A and B are shown apart, each in its own frame.
Chain A
Amino acid sequence: MARILLVDDDTQVREMLKLTLERKGHTVTEAGDGVRAIALFDSDRIDLVVTDIVMPEKEGIETIMELRQKDPSVKVIAISGGGRISPEDYLSWARRFGVKHTFTKPVNRDDLLAAIDELLGQTA
């Protein structure tokens, strides 16, 4: 199973996702913003990142750009509930940065788990 970095500023969403992923046997590292996520990415060996887009301190797009600079092969899944613009618009930015799997909140659990499996399976 994989070590997943979970980045979301909404604690309840983070807790719920952590529980979901742990039940599938993954190890989950949590971050409430992009700055904390970058730091954890450096210290921990992370296989996959699930990140929200609209966050304080450092938002998702910027976080993805930085992660990609550190590791061009980093696997990222972006999720968004929107903000000033629609979630789809935010996620289209993420796709322009090579994020293949994007989901609008609330995310269908099966879709999310399938995307994780697909990304992890590629390396396997």
Chain B
Amino acid sequence: MLNTEDKEDAVVRLLQSQSDILHQIVRNPDSLQMLEEILEMLLDQPGLDAVWVLFVDDADRKNHLLVSRGLGETLKASLEEDDRLQACLMGATEREPDWDLCLREHKAAFLAAGLKEIIAQPIRNDKGLVGALVGASRTEGPFNPAVQMFLEQVAVGLGGRVSRQRTESTLRNTRHNLDNLLETLDDFIFIVDGDGAIVFTNAGNLRGLGLHQMDLPGRPIDELLPGVADLMGEVDHIATVSEGMHCFLNQRLDLVGADGRHTPVEVRAYQGRWDDSNVNYLICRDISVQLGTELERDRLVKAVNQTRDSVIITDAEGTITYTNPAFTRLTGYSTQEVVGRNPRLLNSGTQKVEYYKQMWETISRGRDWTGRMVNRRKNGDLFTEVVSISPLREDGEEITHFVAVKRDITHEVALEERLRQSQKLETIGTLTGGLAHDFNNILYALLGYAELAKDDLEPGNPAILPLDEVIRAGDRMSRLVNRMLTLGRRKSDAVEEVRIKSLVELNLDLVKAALPGNIVVETDFQSGVGSVLADPDCIHHVLLNLCTNSSEAMQPDGGTLTLSVDRYEHAVSESGPWRNLSAGAWVRLSVTDTGRGMDPSVLERIFDPYFTTRNAEDGSGLGLATVQGIMESLGGRIFASSRRGEGATITCFFPPADQPQGEPARKPEVAASKDLGPGAGRQVLVVDDEEMIIGVMKRALARSGFQVTGLTDSLAALDLFRSDPHRFDLLITDQTMPGLSGIELATNVSSLRSELPIILMTGYSGFLEEDSARERGITGFLPKPLRIGQLVEEVLTLLDAAEK
């Protein structure tokens, strides 16, 4: 038995324990640790030699030994594993009828552990029985009532603790789940308080922006999302006026990273509650990839819209769903007019049905098709295009659309045709030229002998008739040969007004094709340069010759060839490279290369016929001489400038056929100088059977102020002169003409007016002795082909001499 002192001591310990245990129950956040501490303290109580706690698991509704003190290993194992024993102990707390029986059944196990008395207290929470607090004593006899009461109090305390703990753990789990969820989201979420400070964010994904979750709460959201304050203000306003209706607003903003980098985001702002305060929820979605895709798409659309090739997209049945602006420019049909229709509306009937059938078969099988088609514009004109059709597949499966890219090659086809035609004519010319010589000799022998045979026959001889037929057949053959010769010769009267810039542009592709791959062609074309009078073939010849020469000067390393066309106003007083170029407006075409250049000695001779720096087999040397001939026949000039190692420029000046569009009339001082030019008030008669030559000379002389009359008929010229012998101050005549030759005309004119200066144009200056020429009244010569500069010079010299 306990003495009084012991009793007092026991009460004090009990009170102390109670206070400690309650403190544990209330304060210790770790449940298991709390239980262990409590059991430790209970063992200090008199008469308690073993204590343990059983708990019902929510998940399996089974009892588990949670913690224990003072149990032997064997009993502890039984308590952990024996369901019936556990149930019995739990039942004991409920005072179930078979409790005693149950205990008796297990008494042996407790006695084996030295435990003779058992006391069990239920642990309950708001949901009911959740466990049992069990104590055991080695001492036989009833438990001290104080201890019984104490155990009961502890069990009640534990029940309350369990309730609270479950709520907390549920909350903790919910919070944990939310955190996990937020971290897996690709969207950035900010909870922002009324002052614009960040309260919460799922910063897991923000690490890439150099921001850290821990640093973010408290920071002003405006630093991260400049401009978001306005958006939040609007949302708040709407929420107020709509009386708290759930609403949100979207806006594209930039999220600023720690390194100042901007990430485009789509921000969705809501009004909401957080910790009992009004806040804004901001959900931001990174749209940089989406924006990139949109930009890419914009670029593609622009490319298709701006390309010079026309593009048609049709569905799988061939119905047009899209056309680009180039299509409209080419065909004259607007997109609205053709969408919903079949591309066969362009059909010109030139291609056979089989052609289209083969095309459809190819593309329906999923293959690309490329071909040439002659189609019809809306206005009825035909055009030629190269068409390339490709099937489009959705996800690589079914063909859903066809896309056709078409390039207008009408001009190229025309050029090709022209080139082919001129090559054909050239071939005929060469062929017939070579044949004609032999043909005509053979024919001549044939005809001559036939005539001789006829001579030997008496009149009335029947053999005369067949011989006449031989002669007639020979004549026919001769005419045929001459016709072939005429066909082979290029006509020189194809002069027309040529927009030289357009012509050069048109020829550019052919020129490029003729040059080796290591030559880069650059162009510098001024707009509004106007037209020149020329044969387009001649200009093509000039261009091709100059470009080929330049290209050869740049081999083997290659280089850049620059073609430029502009309008140039030349003042006579101007000192510079253009020696003897007449004043006034010119259309200038320059070809510049970056090749090896030329020494002055070479430069001097490059326009000489048969002069070449190339090997004999590379070229005839006629190129630049021919170009010069063409330029002078057009009334133009050609110049070359170069230095060794510094490339070369060949510049051609064409007399303009008109004033360029939009340009005011020629400047007054130039007009005055033209009016008062050295030839002002003087009349010149030009006689040449070639109309073109007259045209060229007229322009050249008019430029210096002369008044020029041109005639192609030498007899008419003589008549005109007879009618008014003093009308003209000077006569220029070609030598070889039908009717009167130049010399004959000169002789006649000179007999009417002996002091009149007469210039004879001829390819050979040596064929008339100067004295014999004088006798016929010829005072000057002009070589052919004509050089305009020399023409004006010669005319002025003779007029000056005549006046003296």
Contact = CB atoms under 8 A, between A and B. Distances in A.
26 contacts: A10-B444, A10-B445, A16-B452, A20-B452, A80-B440, A81-B436, A81-B441, A82-B436, A82-B440, A83-B433, A83-B436, A87-B436, A87-B485, A95-B741, A96-B762, A96-B767, A97-B764, A98-B767, A104-B440, A105-B444, A106-B440, A106-B444, A106-B446, A106-B448, A106-B474, A106-B475
B433 A84 contact: yes
A85 interface: yes
A35 to B, nearest CB: 20
A96 B440 contact: no
Contact of A81 (B439, B446, B449, B474): B439
B447 interface: yes
Contacts of B442: 12
Given A96-B736, A106-B443, A106-B447, A83 B452 contact: no
- Nearest 6 CB-CB pairings of A with B: A81-B440, A16-B448, A106-B444, A105-B440, A12-B445, A82-B436
A16 to B, nearest CB: 4
Contacts of A96: 735-736, 762-764, 767
B445 A82 contact: no
Most B CB within 10 A of own CB, among A12, A20, A105? A105
A13 B485 contact: no
Contacts of B441: 8, 10, 12-13, 81, 105
Most B CB within 10 A of own CB, among A54, A92, A104? A104
B434 to A, nearest CB: 7
A82 B735 contact: no
Given A20-B451, A98-B767, A13 B445 contact: yes
Interface in B364-404: none
A2 interface: no
Contacts of B489: 86
A91 to B, nearest CB: 10
A95 B768 CA distance: 12
Contact of B444 (A16, A86, A92): A16
Interface string A88-124: 0000110111100000111101000000000000000
Nearest to A110: B451
Given A23-B455, A82-B433, A86-B436, 11 more contacts: A10-B445, A13-B448, A16-B444, A20-B452, A23-B452, A81-B440, A96-B763, A104-B440, A106-B444, A106-B447, A106-B474
B474 A54 contact: no
B31 interface: no
B667 interface: no
A17 interface: yes
A107 B440 CA distance: 9
A66 B442 CA distance: 28
B736 A95 contact: yes
A10 B446 CA distance: 12
Contacts of B452: 16, 19-20, 23
Nearest to B430: A84
B485 A86 contact: yes
A83 B434 contact: yes
Contacts of A15: 445
B478 interface: yes
A28 to B, nearest CB: 13
B437 interface: yes
Given A86-B485, A97-B764, A106-B474, A81 B741 contact: no
Contact of B437 (A12, A17, A82): A82
Contacts of A109: 448, 451
A8 to B, nearest CB: 8
A97 B736 CA distance: 11
A87 B448 contact: no
Contacts of A98: 767-768
A81 B437 contact: yes
B448 A85 contact: no
A60 to B, nearest CB: 12
A93 B478 CA distance: 22
B568 to A, nearest CB: 37
Contacts of B475: 106
Nearest to A90: B437
A21 B430 CA distance: 34
A2 to B, nearest CB: 19
A80 B443 CA distance: 12
B449 A84 contact: no
A27 to B, nearest CB: 18
Contacts of A107: 444
Contact of B448 (A20, A81, A83, A97): A20
Contacts of A93: 763-764
A82 B448 contact: no
Contacts of A13: 441, 444-445, 448
Nearest to B441: A10
Contacts of B430: 84
Nearest to A106: B444
Contacts of B486: 86
Contacts of B455: 23
Contacts of A95: 736, 741
Contacts of B440: 80-82, 87, 104-106
Nearest to B478: A106
A10 B741 CA distance: 31
A12 B448 CA distance: 10
B762 A16 contact: no
A104 B446 CA distance: 15
A114 B451 CA distance: 16
Interface in A7-63: 8, 10, 12-13, 15-17, 19-20, 23, 54
A64 to B, nearest CB: 10
B474 A97 contact: no
A97 B741 CA distance: 13
Contacts of B741: 95
B444 A81 contact: yes
B485 A17 contact: no
